[in-house]
Structure 1
Amino acid sequence: MSANSPSRIRLFISGTNGIFRKKWPRLFFITAILQAIVCMVFEAFTFAQFQSGLYDMDQAQFKSEKDLQSQLKTIPTFLGLFILGFIYQVLLVWDALLMKNTIQLIGICIANLALLVYGALQIDQIQEAIRILKGFNAFKDLNVWDEVQGVLIAIPGIIALISIFLAFLTWKLYQEFAWDILKHIGADYRMKKRFLHYQIYIALLKFDFFFFVGFTIQFLVVVGGKTGLEFGLTAAAIPITIAILLCAAWSTQRELKIGMIGVMILYLGGLTYFIYKLARIYDPIEQQYYLPVRKSLTAFAVLTIILLIMTITNTLVCMFNFGHGLKQHLLSGPRPEMDKDQASYSMHDVKAPQLPSRMTID
């Protein structure tokens, strides 16, 4: 362990404590947690009502119906994705507040709107799933839709209200973090812009991960694969994606052009993959396999394609910034005299006399 490790740990603890000592970071963090808890409870209630209203699905007449079995996976998939989405969002909030990264906070507000869209889409898809399952006489409780409809409608309503409040809190945090930057940042405007591009790139990688994994989970759970090979290749994409994103962050921090070119090629491959999947979802021959989650798969695919285009563009920008001194700032260790407001602990820690480890928008 290096000599700087204890100092880094102390900075991490101090930065985490600082989130709860200050008004606006504390409000942002608590708001994100409360939203996650309420929405996950509502989703869990929907899942419980759905499951308790069904007959025993292990009966022979139900097991042989592929469409029925596919629709049965719809609500568990929505529940799982909401749990993943809100937990991941809370972690991103904590990370952004710890780094005082306004860019990431803005990204979180946008991601919250994506969760709102997802919550709205699930209303129609769950209603459709219940309608189809009723056609198979799968429900002993025929009022299950009436029991969960209000809760499902409330979820996007709650997320919409919280999104407005988070946007307001982001503005207040921008003002607070900008004051810290004013006290600590150097006068090199060009270096600050390079660092800003780097921070945008790292934030994009984090959101790329969630939307890619969200799409893959829906595909694996509901759609599956018509062959074992297709299923295996799709499942293997998740650890491969994690490796690619970590390699992208590592190569950017160390300004490795070969690594960045390799990552760029993989990005283009990923972009081709999602465009292909999006076309396949609406192919007249293949669309029957995607019907249970077609709308949500479409939303995830479109958002991932947009994010990949933005990531590829920002990859080029970061590569153009190589060789101009940013690497030395990114790889510098923490300063012993750094105060609690400068605490930052993440895979892209940045500490330097002229440049702090987080960035706000000017």
Structure 2
Amino acid sequence: MVALTFGVVHAYLGDTLDTASYKTLPCYLALFILAELFELALAYDALRLRNVIQLLGIVVFHGALLVFSALQVHETKIAIVPCYISQCENNHNFLWDKVMPYLVVAPCVIGASWILIMYWIKALYEEFGWVIFHVVGANPKLKSMYQYYQIFICLLKFDFFCFVGVTMQLLIVVLTANSAEFGVTIAAIPVVLILLAGCAYAVQREIKWLMSASLALMVAAMTYLYKLVRFYEPSSDQQYLSTRATLTVFTIFAFLLLLASFAVGIKCFYDFDKGLHDSKTQDLSISADQRYGSPPKAQERHSSYSTGGVALQPQISIE
């Protein structure tokens, strides 16, 4: 639907649109492509690992897509109508009337699919509920620590998407290549990617110095919230006019996710060296396949308590 919107607008107005406004629609299209690919990758990863926490994260992410698609209707109108007035003053709403149905369909489809996703994930929740028990055993403390670890890894993945979303909008729609802010935004990309990757590796391998450095950088990254001031201050508000609502939502979500990641990361750091290292580093998909597949053949055992050294019969695994 977003691609159809872009095609209709381009066919009617061509390259005569104002540059900043014209770049709004391809930016939205790129964000939707990124969001769909990201959600598919999350779903595959969650199903492969039988990760219930990540499945619940997909439900939240799909709801965020619903909000974003609804915001898109408002921001596309802001981008189209002022530019179209100057070219067709007697019928300036014609183009908007043409593309508005395509934009309204998107949140409707996403909302309907959200209900189906919640139904299927509820079924998967019941199906995969024993995986954590299989990995860490029946110890409730280990189970709680492992759940915090899964939440932290899931939050890091959503941090990555929000950061890429904000950066993409700034670089494509708002900033000019010769501005200092453009250079700072470009320089921040590898720093944030290294931060997220290093943080995930540190919490998995329980490397304390790397985890400490990652958490410190995470606090520094929260200062990115100052961008909200730039969106609304009089000296720069016109620069962000066509994409201000989306940028505001993305920036606030990114800050809240980063704050939650920091809090959960502190909890995971506190849980280092408490017996969870092996559960983190093993391949959970292999463990889960063993849990759901046929149990290995039981080996015969000899017991010193058995009379005459007679071998015990093969035992049947409880699984």
The residue number in structure 2 matching 1:251 is 202
SS in 2 for 1:54: helix
- In the TM superposition, what whole-angstrom CA distance separates every residue of 1:9-47 from its partner, at most 9, and x where no partner exists? xxxxxxxxxxxxxxxxxxxxxxxxxxxxxxxxx111111
Does residue 268 in structure 1 map to residue 219 in structure 2? Answer: yes
1:93 to 35, 39, 43: 43
Give me the TM-score of the superposition, normalised by structure 2.
0.85
- In the TM superposition, what whole-angstrom CA distance separates every residue of 1:180-232 from its partner, at most 9, and x where no partner exists? 55667522221111111111000000000001110110011111148433212
Does residue 51 in structure 1 map to residue 5 in structure 2? Answer: no
2:114 to 147, 163, 176: 163
Trace 1:201-220 onto structure 2 (pairs within 5 A): 201-220=152-171
Shift of residue 135, structure 1, vs aligned partner: 3.0
Whole-angstrom CA distance in 1 between matches of 2:283 and 2:189 = 32
Whole-angstrom CA distance in 1 between matches of 2:160 and 2:25 = 23
2:68 to 118, 122, 132: 118
Structure with the greater relative contact order (CA < 8 A, sep ≥ 6): 1 or 2?
Answer: 1
Mapped contact 2:202–2:210 kept (Cα < 8 A):
yes
For these two proteins, the number of residue pairs brought into alignment is: 291
Letter in 2 for 1:212: F
Shift of residue 240, structure 1, vs aligned partner: 2.3
Letter in 1 for 2:192: T
Shift of residue 323, structure 1, vs aligned partner: 1.2
Whole-angstrom CA distance in 1 between matches of 2:36 and 2:121 = 18
The residue number in structure 1 matching 2:148 is 197
Letter in 1 for 2:278: Q
The residue number in structure 2 matching 1:282 is 232
The residue number in structure 1 matching 2:268 is 318
SS in 1 for 2:137: coil
Whole-angstrom CA distance in 1 between matches of 2:287 and 2:64 = 41
SS in 2 for 1:220: helix
Shift of residue 56, structure 1, vs aligned partner: 4.0
Shift of residue 138, structure 1, vs aligned partner: 8.1
Whole-angstrom CA distance in 2 between matches of 1:338 and 1:163 = 27
Instruction: Could you tell me which runs of 5 or more consecutive residues in structure 2 were left unpaired when the two chains were aligned.
Output: 294-319
Mapped contact 2:75–2:243 kept (Cα < 8 A):
yes
Does residue 223 in structure 1 map to residue 165 in structure 2? Answer: no
Shift of residue 244, structure 1, vs aligned partner: 1.0
Trace 1:1-362 onto structure 2 (pairs within 5 A): 42-57=1-16, 68-137=18-87, 143-179=94-130, 186-225=137-176, 227-273=178-224, 275-332=225-282, 339=289
Q: Once the two structures are aligned, what percentage of the paired residues are identical?
A: 36
CA distance 1:286–1:105, change in 2 (3 Å): same
Give me the TM-score of the superposition, normalised by structure 1.
0.75
Instruction: Could you tell me which runs of 5 or more consecutive residues in structure 1 were left unpaired when the two chains were aligned.
Output: 1-41, 63-67, 344-362
Whole-angstrom CA distance in 2 between matches of 1:93 and 1:337 = 19
Mapped contact 1:267–1:312 kept (Cα < 8 A):
yes
SS in 2 for 1:178: coil
Larger Rg belongs to? 2
